[in-house]
Amino acid sequence: MHAVERNVRADQSMPGSNDDDLLAKLNVKMFSYNELATATHNFNYQSVLGEGSFGPVFKGELEATGQLVAVKVLNPEGLQGNEEFMMEVVMLSRLHHPNLIKLIGCCTEEEHRLLVYEFMPLGSLNERLHDFDHTTPEMAPLDWNTRMEIAHSVAKAFNYLHNEARPPVVHRDLKPDNILLGEGFHPKVSDFGIAMFGPSDDDSRIFTDSVMGVRAYSAPEFSNTGEVTTKSDVYSFGVVLMELITGLRALDVHREKHYLADWVHYKLTNCELDIVSLADPRMNGQFPEDIFRKAINVGLNCTEDDPKLRPSMKDVVRTMDNFKYERRVVVAPDQGRGESSGESTEAHLPLSNFISPETKLAATLWGRKGQISPLNTNPYKKA
Which residues are CB-neighbours of 82 under 8 A, at least 6 positions away? 19, 74, 113
Q: What is the β-pairing status of strands 165-166 and 2-3?
A: parallel
**Could you give the residue ranges of the DSSP H alpha helices within the chain?**
19-26, 33-39, 82-94, 125-126, 144-163, 220-225, 230-246, 260-270, 289-302, 313-321, 333-336, 357-364
Cis amide prior to 350 (ω within 30 degrees): no
Transcribe 188-208 into DSSP letters. EE---TT-EE---TT---EE-
Distances (CA, A) of 21 to 17, 24, 27: 8, 5, 10
173 is a catalytic site residue: yes
Q: Contact at 8 Å (CB) between 68 and 119?
A: yes
Instruction: Give the integer Cα–Cα distance in Å for 301 and 309.
Output: 7
Which residues are CB-neighbours of 21 under 8 A, at least 6 positions away? none
Q: Contact at 8 Å (CB) between 276 and 268?
A: no
Instruction: Give the integer Cα–Cα distance in Å for 350 and 360.
Output: 11
Q: Contact at 8 Å (CB) between 328 and 348?
A: yes
Please give the radius of gyration of the chain, using alpha carbons only, rounded to the nearest integer.
22
What separation, in Å, do the N-terminal and C-terminal C-alpha atoms of the chain show? Answer: 30
Q: Indicate which residue of 11, 173, 233, 274 is catalytic.
A: 173
Helix (H) or strand (E) holding 180: strand 179-181
Length of the chain: 383
Q: How many CB atoms lie within 10 A of CB 172?
A: 26
Alpha carbon dihedral 344, 240, 376, 354, in 10-degree steps, equals 50
Secondary structure class of 49 (helix, strand, coil): strand
**Residues taking part in catalysis:** 173
